[in-house]
Chains A and B, each alone.
Chain A
Amino acid sequence: MGDFLDLFLNFEIMAKSWPLLAKGLGITAKLCAAVIGLGLAGGLMLALGALSPRRWLKWPAIAFIDLFRAIPPLVLLVFVFSGLPFAGLDLTPFLAVVIAFFLNNSAYYAEVFRAGIQSVPKGQAEAARATGLSQPQAMLHVILPQAVRNVLPDLLSNTVEVVKLTSLASVVSLAELLYSANMARSVTYNSSPLVLAALIYLAILWPLVRLISRYQRGLAAH
């Protein structure tokens, strides 16, 4: 037991590695903001494309969504980070991560938005168009607010996935939370920094995960 505490919950080492981890947390936050923001915007565009009656919009959007849902995000990241320099595109780790996860994540958000938009009864769009609202106006003021509310748990759960996803950035040496923790581990020969990182992720994500469960139960009860 003493071994276990010493190796995994060594408060001294945790305290020492905290400044490094805090810096990493800052980068994780920046990464999340960029990927979530871009992912939401891209996902919405893709969803609208996938639901469009115009074939030249619909099929490319669906192909994009399926393609990037099929490729593991880490593979995409390695491809963007180590593959694109061969094509003369040298990206900073941060940019590579943002691009790779934007591609992956917008596909996932697109599926959520698509399900949401499809969950709004057809009569809503008809009522809106019958009162002279244009297609974009009907989408913006009538369909989307209801769509988002209908899939809020899924949007939330996808957002949790994005935060977890950013930990993969450590693989391309971007000094985010996990990378910093692993760095501290290899210097101290002690896993406590990794455990601290895990606790930080838990502190951020557990409330959200609880919220999602309660939401889903609420929906199921109706």
Chain B
Amino acid sequence: MKFLETFFNGAVMAKYLPDLLGAIVTTLWLSAVILALGLSLGLVLACLRCLGRWYLTLPIVAFADIGRALPPLVVILICYFGLPGLGISLSGPAVLILVLAGVLAAFAEEIFWAGLTAVPKGQWEAGRATGLSFARTLFEIALPQAVRLGIPPLVNRALAITKMTALGSVIGVKEILSVSSSAQSFSGSATPLTMAALAYLAIFLPAVILSRALERRFSWAV
């Protein structure tokens, strides 16, 4: 059967499996770093915005807007090809982490902020009235509610952005897509691409299904 031979060739699979496993590890650690950096930066920015100082709010809003409006690949290319001209040479993985964590931070800031504005004013007043400081009210009363509200959109967004680690293939990062693409051109078989698709499914399908479950749990819709 030609179809099987083309997309599920056992010999090709066996040959490139070790390379692919290495690439999966790369994709996983890149994703973990991007998630950790992006979410924490987004959270910090949303908290700083709560202070209500224009000299903080203005750059934060600009950052969040630009991060949400620009295609990540454009920024990746500018950083990767442009910065060396200024004497700043960043490796492929460094550029990928910087850009994607930045994009995730932009979205996360907006989601946390939307959650914070959705916490009723009475909650803040109750916190302050019981003698809590601004920071304590923020961390112990407002933020937990905001995070809870933000979890479903946050999970979806984090998923979408970790999937973008595939963009690393454009700037030579040895993640799943780039390794399988080069394997495909070496082997002259589409099988490595099938393996890549399966690898991504193995990583992200559980996450997608989990996000569905989370959404059901956290939705208290009308």
Chain A residues at the B interface, C-beta cutoff of 8 Å: 3-4, 7-8, 66-67, 69-76, 78-79, 82-83, 86-87, 118-119, 121, 160-161, 163-168, 170-171, 178, 181-182, 185, 191, 194-195, 197-198, 201-202, 205-206, 208-210, 213, 216-217, 220-221
Contacts and interface: CB of A to CB of B under 8 A. Distances in A.
Interface stretch (B39-47, B122-130, B136-144, B199-207): B199-207
B11 interface: no
B163 A73 contact: yes
Interface of B: 3, 6-7, 65-66, 68-75, 77-78, 81-82, 85-86, 110, 114, 117-118, 159-160, 163-167, 169-170, 176-177, 181, 184, 189-190, 193-194, 196-197, 200-201, 204-205, 207-209, 212, 221-222
Contact of B82 (A71, A165, A194, A202): A194
B220 to A, nearest CB: 12
24 contacts: A8-B78, A66-B208, A70-B204, A72-B200, A74-B169, A75-B197, A75-B200, A79-B196, A82-B181, A86-B6, A86-B189, A118-B221, A166-B71, A167-B73, A167-B74, A170-B73, A194-B74, A194-B77, A201-B69, A201-B74, A205-B69, A209-B65, A209-B69, A217-B114
Contacts of A4: 86
B70 A87 contact: no
A8 B82 contact: yes
A70 B75 contact: no
B81 A78 contact: no
B6 A202 contact: no
A206 B66 contact: yes
A78 B72 CA distance: 18
B204 to A, nearest CB: 4
* Those 7 A-B pairs whose CB atoms lie nearest each other, nearest first: A191-B82, A167-B71, A205-B69, A72-B163, A86-B190, A220-B118, A164-B71
B134 to A, nearest CB: 21
A161 to B, nearest CB: 8
A7 B88 CA distance: 13
A121 B85 CA distance: 58
Contacts of A121: 222
B201 A70 contact: yes
A202 B70 contact: yes
